[in-house]
C-alpha cells in the first residue's frame, strides 16, 4: 500500500502493469474479455 505523498512506494506496481500492457495487451487482439482475462492469469502465474 502506498503511503500518502510517497510516489516511490507505487513504483513496483506501476512497472508491473506497464510490462503487462507491453507484453500482453498491445501485442495481441482479443475476441473477448474472458480471453484477455485468461491470458493475464497465465502471465501472472508464470511470474510467481
Q: What pLDDT was estimated at residue 5? A: 66
Phi, psi of 32 (to 5 degrees): -150, 165
CA 31 to chain centre: 19
Q: What pLDDT was estimated at residue 2? A: 58
Q: Give me the mean pLDDT over the 31-41 stretch.
A: 94
Query: Quick check: helix, strand or coil at residue 19?
Result: helix
pLDDT of 4 strictly over 80: no
Q: Give me the mean pLDDT over the 18-23 stretch.
A: 91
User: Is the whole model's pTM more than 0.85, yes or no?
Assistant: no
Share of the chain above pLDDT 90, in %: 42
Q: Give me the mean pLDDT over the 23-47 stretch.
A: 90
The answer to whether the CB of 16 falls within 8 A of the CB of 9 is no
Amino acid at each position: 500500500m502506498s503511503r500518502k505523498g510517497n510516489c516511490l512506494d507505487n513504483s513496483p506496481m506501476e512497472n508491473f502493469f506497464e510490462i503487462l500492457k507491453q507484453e500482453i495487451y498491445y501485442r495481441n487482439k482479443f475476441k473477448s474479455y474472458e480471453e484477455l482475462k485468461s491470458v493475464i492469469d497465465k502471465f501472472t502465474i508464470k511470474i510467481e
